[in-house]
A and B are shown apart, each in its own frame.
Chain A
Amino acid sequence: MFVVSWISRGPYGGLDWTWTGENYVRLLDSLVLGIFLKSFGYALGTTLVCGLLGFPLAYCIARSSKSWQQWLLILVMIPFWTNFLVRTYAWVLIFRADGVVNGFLKILGQDPISLLFTDFSVCVGLVYGYLPFMVLPLVSALERIPIQVEEAARDLFATRLEALWHVVVPLSRPGWVAGSVLVFIPSLGAFITPYLLGGGQSLMIGTLIQQEFLVARDWPFGAALSFGLMAVILMLWGWLGRKPEEQSMI
């Protein structure tokens, strides 16, 4: 309870104690709106790619034998519990101008390409960072679907992939919703990834908020930004929270 009061208190922390709506008007500035939209796009893309990559793995984990399942889950958990900063930094090593990718290109006799500080590197970092958040809820949703349902679909002459697409994917909806929320929200507010992999060029809301607070020292505007982000997230959350069976997953 007091935790919430901390959060809601934040946005009104003006330094000059005159009330003004100006900071919120500045949110509508085209540059700021652009960054909001861009972050939204990044987060959406990250969620989609995580779903695409996460589903096959989650399905294999859910449908494998018990002993395999445990090992596979541990395999997913280890990167999940590794420090986020370290995992992001590993991609810096790979993408750097004299990093691993360019090292290989050199061996192959190709010209080096610049990968670090691009939109691409930020997206890879985001997907990598939040993939386990998609896989784990999907596994628990898929496990609840009895294998007989799939067999029934196959008996009705569905191919394996048809059975997956028309039966398993819709039935695992709670897992999709939970996973998407768990990927979308943190990637919307991501700070480490765009900071380390995006450099100065790809600002996201997270890096913008950090700059306003620690570099520009414009706290009221930073607070307005934070509150804007928070409002977006709460609206999303409220919209999803209407369906009780999905709320239970989150």
Chain B
Amino acid sequence: MSRLPRVLIWSSAAVVLFLYIPILVLIVLSFNDSHMGAVWKGFSLRWYDKLIHNPAFFEAMLNSVLIAAVSTGMSLIFGVGAAIGLEGNRGRLLPFINMGLVLPLVIPEILLGVALLMMFVLLQIPLGFVTIILGHSVFSLPLTIVMIRARLRKLDPTWEDAARDLGANSWDVLRHITLPLLKPAMVGAALLTFTVSLDDFVITFFVAGPGSTTLPLKVFSMIKTGVTPEINALSALLVLVSILGVGGSWFYQQRSGRVVTQSLS
């Protein structure tokens, strides 16, 4: 490997630093004993203590996990079905369907948020859990379909043909061949949609009703009512969750990648 120019190395180091400074500040300040501001008054865990004794925090966390789980599950069921259906389809509508699938992933979230809000109000669906779950499906479902289709396209069709030659009907083929082969993509899609749903603020902000506060909404209302170190503690915990999430999915990929290559050799 040729050596990289020093200018580039230093500038990328600076960019990485830029990416991490705010996160570090957040974590350091969450251990700060001071009530206000950035003045260091000694190490303390009291903001974490305050946080875990706050019932609203647990309620919001539970809501978030519940919503993410349901919308991920729904997207997985409908998404796998839709992806398999679309892959067999060569209709004239396909380009339009493809565009319709990518559109919710491309346009700014705020547009989806207001469009959903108007739709729910016009249809007179009360805002709450149902609307948040439906709202999250608007991005989870296309994400799942796109990821599953990418995997489907790489599958070797001879597997399915072989099963059919051995007398399997199309249901058997789906259950014993296609779905197991899709498993890595399904796990990946589920992880991704779960995380995105857990993190989503903008869409949730528009379609949430009373009593359905999610964790990001809670963070937002805490920020709006004033900067307290309790938010720092909560934010630091959320950073930790995302580090674990990225690390976890990376290890899963490493492991499943190895399993796949082993089974192929």
Contact = CB atoms under 8 A, between A and B. Distances in A.
Interface stretch (A19-27, A28-36, A169-177, A188-196): A188-196
B100 to A, nearest CB: 4
How big is chain A's contact interface, by range?
A: 35 or more
Contact of B18 (A65, A128, A191): A128
Contact of B114 (A86, A161, A209, A237): A209
Interface stretch (B5-13, B44-52, B124-132): B5-13
Contact of B16 (A6, A57, A77, A103): A57
Contacts of B37: 96, 98-99, 103
Nearest to A229: B111
A81 interface: yes
Nearest to A91: B22
Contact of B243 (A9, A78, A189): A78
B235 A89 contact: yes
Interface string B229-248: 00110010011001101110
Contacts of B97: 1
Contacts of A126: none
Contact of A56 (B1, B11, B22): B11
B160 interface: no
A161 B111 contact: no
Nearest to B139: A3
Given A7-B107, A78-B243, A206-B110, A84 B15 contact: no
A229 B107 CA distance: 9
A82 B109 contact: no
B23 interface: yes
Interface residues of B, number: 70
Contacts of A235: none
A70 to B, nearest CB: 8
Contacts of B114: 10, 209, 213, 222-223, 226
Contacts of A108: none
B23 A63 contact: no
B61 interface: no
B39 interface: yes
A91 B12 CA distance: 21
Contacts of A237: 106
B22 A85 contact: no
A131 B19 contact: yes
27 contacts: A1-B96, A1-B100, A3-B138, A59-B8, A63-B4, A74-B250, A75-B16, A79-B20, A79-B23, A82-B242, A83-B199, A90-B23, A92-B223, A94-B25, A99-B37, A131-B18, A131-B19, A132-B19, A150-B2, A160-B5, A161-B7, A190-B108, A191-B108, A209-B110, A219-B118, A226-B114, A250-B102
Which 9 pairs of residues, A with B, have the shortest CB-CB distance? Answer: A189-B108, A10-B115, A90-B22, A98-B37, A13-B118, A57-B12, A56-B11, A4-B100, A103-B38
